[in-house]
Amino acid sequence: MPLTEIRVAGFGGQGVILSAIVLGKACSIHQGQFATMTQNFGPEARGGACSAQLILSDTPVLYPYVTQPDIMVVMSQEAYVKFAPELKEGGMLIIERDLVRVTNVSEQDRIYSVPATRIAEELGKRMVLNIVMVGFFTAVTKLLEADAVRKAVADSVPASFRELNLKAFDKGYEYGVAALAAGPEKPDLEQNAAVSQEVV
């Protein structure tokens, strides 16, 4: 794959860092390519802004920091407001449908959304929403092989939760396959402009 810059963002407690670790592990260990990851937290360990920067490539990564993400995965409104302006023109924005309202997007941006928290709750554990997002990401970006990511999920979670996390991955992946077939979503830009004015 060509060098791809990714930012995963949300709030502490959503499993943002683990999401990036799983994707990086899938790329570097299970596909034999290259990945780097850096992370940062807000002042609160749980509930504060949290993000991980991930670079995936088929050649060695010479600079480990994301400068302008090709893909952004956003799981909270605060993270969207803070990081969305960094997205490269025409980039891909992946959002948690129930937690993020999209505003001020370029018409060239490709947007895909998934109700990851709801899917996770249906599986019995809200905490696996991050693995639902990982499955969705795998399907809509087609950057990584599904088997490689699935193996990375199995390697990265406690044995007692392995089956649940693999189910979460599969559900997210299935949702992503359908979303990719339907094509990118186009939010109502006029409505979003009105929302932005209300916020101001």
Between CA 36 and CA 52 the distance in angstroms is 10
The CATH number that applies at residue 176 is: 3.40.920.10
Between 67 and 166, the more confident residue is 166
Residue range 157-176: mean pLDDT, rounded = 97
* 8 A C-beta contact, residue 16 and residue 96: no
Work out how many domains the chain is built from and give that number: 1
Highest mean pLDDT among 32-41, 89-98, 179-188: 89-98
What is the pLDDT at residue 165?
Answer: 97
pLDDT at residue 14 greater than cutoff 50: yes
**pLDDT tier, 64 (very low <50, low <70, confident <90, very high otherwise):** confident
Q: Across the chain, how many H-helices and E-strands are there?
A: 7, 6
In sign, the C-alpha dihedral spanning 187, 137, 131, 46 is negative
What is the pLDDT at residue 39?
Answer: 87
pLDDT at residue 13 greater than cutoff 90: no
Phi, psi dihedral angles at 3 (to 5 degrees): -55, 125
pLDDT at residue 152 greater than cutoff 70: yes
Q: Which CA distances in Å does 124 have to 35, 118, 127, 135?
A: 32, 10, 9, 17
What is the pLDDT at residue 107?
Answer: 79
Range of the domain at 80: 4-199
* 8 A C-beta contact, residue 169 and residue 153: yes
What is the pLDDT at residue 136?
Answer: 98
